[in-house]
Structure 1
Amino acid sequence: MSAHRPDPDLLLPPEVLDRWQQRVTDVAGEPVGQLFRAGLHRTLARTLHVLDDDTVFVITGDIPAMWLRDSATQMLPYLRLAAEDPQGPLADLLVGIVRRQTAFIAHDPYANAFNAEANGRCHEPRDLSDDPWLWERKYEVDSLCFPLLLAHQVWSATGRTDHLGDGFVRAATAAVETLDRETDHEARSDYRFVRPDSGPLETLDRDGLGTPVGVTGMTWSGFRPSDDACTYGYNVPANLMAVHVLRRLADLLPTEPALVARAADLADRLAAGIEQHGLIQHPVHGEIWAYEVDGLGRHVLMDDANMPGLLSLPLVSAVGADDERYQRTRSFVLSKDNPFYFVGSVAAGVGSPHTRDRYVWPIALAVEGLTTDDTARRHELLALIERTTAGTGHVHESFDVDDDSQFSRPWFSWADSMFCALALSLLD
C-alpha cells in the first residue's frame, strides 16, 4: 500500500497557525507560544501518511508504527481547530485517522500497534504473533477505547459522520465482543502473550495467560497504557474509560440498536465490577480507586503517567474533575504515597515504571493541568514543560526531575500534543 505525506500548510494554513500562536503567546508568553507552534506543526508535518484508501496512518514520532492509543491522543489539540472548519482538510484528516484505526481494530482487536502495510516489521520478532500487519500484539483495553473516544470527539467537534460507516460498525462490534469475552479471561479467552527471555514488564506469566484473576464484572487487560504488563489483570482507569466509550456508542450508532444495547449492558456490568472490586480505603486519602486489582483480594496502589491513568480520568471517562472520589484519588496520585510521584530540583510529577526511576513525564504534567480549574497552576505547568526540553525544542517522553538534559525519546509526538492541548486550555 503506497502512502504520501499531506502538506501541513494545507491542513493548517500559516495564517491560521499564526493566529493560534498569537493567542497562546498573549496568555502564556513568547517561549510557550513558540513551542506551541513548533509542536502543532511538527505532528502534522512528520507523523501523517495518507494511504491509498484515504485513511491516515500516524506514527508516534521516533518509532515508525501506529499505536491506536497514541494516534488518538496525538490529535487532541486539533479537534478544537477542526471545529472551526468542519468540512475542511483538518477535519478530513481526523476522519481518515478514525477510519484507519477502526480498520486495524477489525483486523485484530488484541493488537496495540500496527504497520502501514503487511511488511512484517515488528518490535520483537520472537513474539508469538506472526501477522505481518502487527508491530506489536500487547492487548490493552485502552487500545480499543481510544479510537472509539476519538470517533465521538470528531463527531462532537465537527458533526461529521463519514467515519461512522460499516467499518466503524465492524470495529465497534469487535471491541464490544472482545471486552465482553475478557470479563472471564481464564475461561473464555485464547489470548496469550509471550516474549522470551525478557523482563517481567514485557511478558505475561503462566505461558502468556497472565497472573490469576477472579471474575469481577470488569474486563481484563494484559498490558497497561505504558505497554508494560499488568501486575493484576483489571486496570481500573482503563475499565472506567471503557464504561464511558461503550455508553457513547448510542450517539454514534443510532441505526444499530442491538449493538448499542449490548454495549450499554456491558458498560453497566463493568461499572458494577469497579464499584465492588476497584475501590480501596486508604489510611490517609480515604476511599480511592486502585490502579489494578485481581478480584482475589490483591491490588496495586499507584498511578502511571500514561493515559488512561487515575489522574486523567476527567479527560477519558465520565468521572468529573469535581467528583469527590476523584479528588481523593488525585490527592493520592500527586503525593509521596504514589510510588511513581517524583520530586526533584527541576520538577515534580508522575512518572512510570516504563522509564527510569525519578523520571517525570510531561504528558502527566499536562494532564495535571488539564484536570484542574486552577488557572495559575495551569500556567505553572505549561511553563515547566517549556523550560525542561533541554534546549531541543521538543517535549520529551520523560526527563530526570533533577536534570532535564537526561531524557527519554528525543521526539515523542504525543508529548508535543499534550503540551499544545494544555496551552489551548488557557484560552478558555
Structure 2
Amino acid sequence: MNLYSPDLANRVVATVVDRLGADAGDVFRRCFLDTLDRTIEVLTDGTAFVVTGDIPAMWLRDSTVQLTPYLHFLVEDEALADTAVAVSRRQLGFLLQDPYANAFNRAADGGGHQDDLTDMSPAIWERKYEIDSLAYPLQLAHDIWRLTGRTDHLGDFREAARTVVSVWRIEQEHESRSPYRFQRTTGPASDSLERNGLGRPTAVTGLTWSGFRPSDDACVHHYNVPGNMMAATVLGDIAELAESVFDDSELAASSRTLRAEVVDAVARHAVVSLPSGSEIYAYEIDGCGNALLTDDANTPSLLSMPLFGWCAADDPTYLATRAFVLSDANPTFFRGTAAEGIGSPHTPHGSIWPIALAVQGLTALDDSERRRVFDTLLSTHAGTGAMHESFDKDDPAVYTRPWFSWANAMFCELALELAGLRTHVRRPTDAETR
C-alpha cells in the first residue's frame, strides 16, 4: 500500500519553498515527509499503526495530530486518504479494547509499563486515562468523513462513540462510579495518582474527570478544562455522524445532552475573575473551590481552544485567557535569550515547546505574530532540521526528544497556514450555548 503520492508531496513542498523561502522549505520537507516515511506501518488487517517517533508505541492523541497536515490534501490524494482511513480504523479498534488507555502496542507483546497498578494488558503500552485520548480519534473519524465523504473507516465508530459517551458519563461522578485506578511505583509523583490510584478529591459539577493531562502528567485538579472543551466539540461530531450516517437518533440525543451539560459546567465552574477584572478560563478545577491558573504546551490546551472548535480566535474570554497564558503570570511561560513561549512541567523548567509555539502562531490574529513565531521555530531546531519536544529558552542546542513527530506535524501546520495551503479548519459550533 502506497501511503501517499510523491507527486502531491513534491507539489506541496515546492509551494512552501516558493512562498516561504528555501530555509523554511528545507525544514518543512523534512518534517512533512518524516511522519509518512518513518512512523506509519500498514498491518496485515489493513489498519495502520503509528509510532510517536522515538517511542515505539501508538498514542491515540499523537497519532491523530500527526496526520493533521495531511488532512488538507485528502481529496487530492487517494493514497493519502487511504492512509488516514487505515489509521482511523486502528484507533477506533483501540478505543474498544480499552477506553481508559492512552497508548497501545503494535501487538500484544507486553511492551510498555506492564508493572503499573491498573487493569493492564499486554496490548497496552500505557493506561493513563486522559479525556483527549478518547476525543482525538472520534475527531479524526469525523474529519475524514466531512472532508472526503468516506465511511469505510466507520465500522467501529458507533460502538466506540457509545463507549466514549458512557465513560464520560461515568467520569462525571468519578468518586462514586468509576472503576478506574492508576498507580506507578517508580518515577516522579506526576506519573501516579493519589489515594491508592483514585486521584485527588472532586465534587460533581457536570464536567467529566481526567486522571492525566495531554502531557501524560497527573492532573493537579481532575477536571481538565481544555479536555472538557474538546469533549464537548467532539460530542457534536458524534451527534452529526450518528444522524447523517447511522440514522441513530438515540446516540445523537445522548451526545447532545452530555455536550450541553459539559458546556454549561464550563461556563458555571471554569471561568475565573482576575484582580484586573478580566475573566479567563482555568486550566483545571476540582469542583471543591480550587482552580489552577496556567496552561500546558500539550494540546488540547487553553491556547488551542480555537483549533479544536471551542470558540473563535477573537472570542473575548479566549483573548483574555490567551493574554494570561502568554504572560509571566502563567507559571509555564518562559522568556529567554533564544525564545519565549509556553513549556510544561513534563520537561525541565525553562524549556519551551515547539508545539505551543505552533499553536500560538496558528491562533494569532495577525500575520506579524504568526511570522515571528514561525521564525522562532526556524531558529531553534539546533541545526537538526526537525522540531523537538522542548528546548532550553537560552540554548536551543539543549533539547528533549530528538524525534517527536507531533512537534514536526504542528510545525508543518503553521507553515501551511503561512503558505496559504491550510484549508481544513474546525469552526466553533453551537456558540449560542456558551
* TM-score, normalising length: structure 1: 0.95
Q: CA deviation at 1:410?
A: 0.5
AA paired with 2:195? R
AA paired with 1:220? W
Residue 77 (structure 1) aligns with: 69
Q: Which moved more, 1:281-290 or 1:173-182?
A: 281-290
User: Structure 1 CA distance, aligned partners of 2:56 and 2:277?
Assistant: 42
User: Structure 2 CA distance, aligned partners of 1:246 and 1:313?
Assistant: 15
Q: CA deviation at 1:337?
A: 0.6
In the TM superposition, what whole-angstrom CA distance separates every residue of 1:101-130 from its partner, at most 9, and x where no partner exists? 010001100000000111111135344343
Mapping for residues 1-400 of structure 1, pairs under 5 Å: 7=2, 11-13=4-6, 15-85=7-77, 88-123=78-113, 125-165=115-155, 167-254=156-243, 255-284=247-276, 286-400=278-392
Change (3 A) 1:34 1:285: farther
Q: Which moved more, 1:22-31 or 1:51-60?
A: 22-31
Q: CA deviation at 1:199?
A: 2.3
Q: CA deviation at 1:380?
A: 1.7
User: Structure 2 CA distance, aligned partners of 1:130 and 1:242?
Assistant: 25
The answer on whether the counterparts of 1:285 and 1:328 sit within 8 Å (CA) in structure 2 is no
1:35 match: secondary structure: helix
Q: CA deviation at 1:288?
A: 0.5
Q: CA deviation at 1:318?
A: 2.5
* Alignment partner of 1:426 is 2:418: yes
Gaps of 5+ in 1: 1-5
Q: CA deviation at 1:285?
A: 6.4
Q: CA deviation at 1:90?
A: 0.3
Change (3 A) 1:128 1:425: same
1:295 match: secondary structure: coil
Q: CA deviation at 1:7?
A: 4.8
User: Structure 1 CA distance, aligned partners of 2:177 and 2:399?
Assistant: 42
AA paired with 1:195? R
Gaps of 5+ in 2: 421-434
In the TM superposition, what whole-angstrom CA distance separates every residue of 1:187-219 from its partner, at most 9, and x where no partner exists? 110100011144221100000000000000000
The answer on whether the counterparts of 1:120 and 1:132 sit within 8 Å (CA) in structure 2 is yes
The answer on whether the counterparts of 1:285 and 1:329 sit within 8 Å (CA) in structure 2 is no
The answer on whether the counterparts of 1:49 and 1:58 sit within 8 Å (CA) in structure 2 is yes
User: Structure 2 CA distance, aligned partners of 1:285 and 1:23?
Assistant: 46
In the TM superposition, what whole-angstrom CA distance separates every residue of 1:341-388 from its partner, at most 9, and x where no partner exists? 000000000000000001000000000011113112222211211221
2:218 match: secondary structure: coil
1:243 match: secondary structure: helix
2:306 match: secondary structure: helix
The answer on whether the counterparts of 2:116 and 2:182 sit within 8 Å (CA) in structure 1 is no
Paired-residue identity, %: 50
Which runs of structure 1 show a deviation greater than 3 angstroms over 4 or more consecutive aligned residues?
none
The answer on whether the counterparts of 2:118 and 2:180 sit within 8 Å (CA) in structure 1 is no
The answer on whether the counterparts of 1:349 and 1:364 sit within 8 Å (CA) in structure 2 is yes
Equivalent residue pairs, number:
417
User: Structure 2 CA distance, aligned partners of 1:336 and 1:212?
Assistant: 29
Q: CA RMSD in A?
A: 1.2
Q: Which moved more, 1:246-255 or 1:397-406?
A: 246-255
The answer on whether the counterparts of 1:113 and 1:137 sit within 8 Å (CA) in structure 2 is yes
Residue 3 (structure 1) aligns with: none
1:201 match: secondary structure: helix
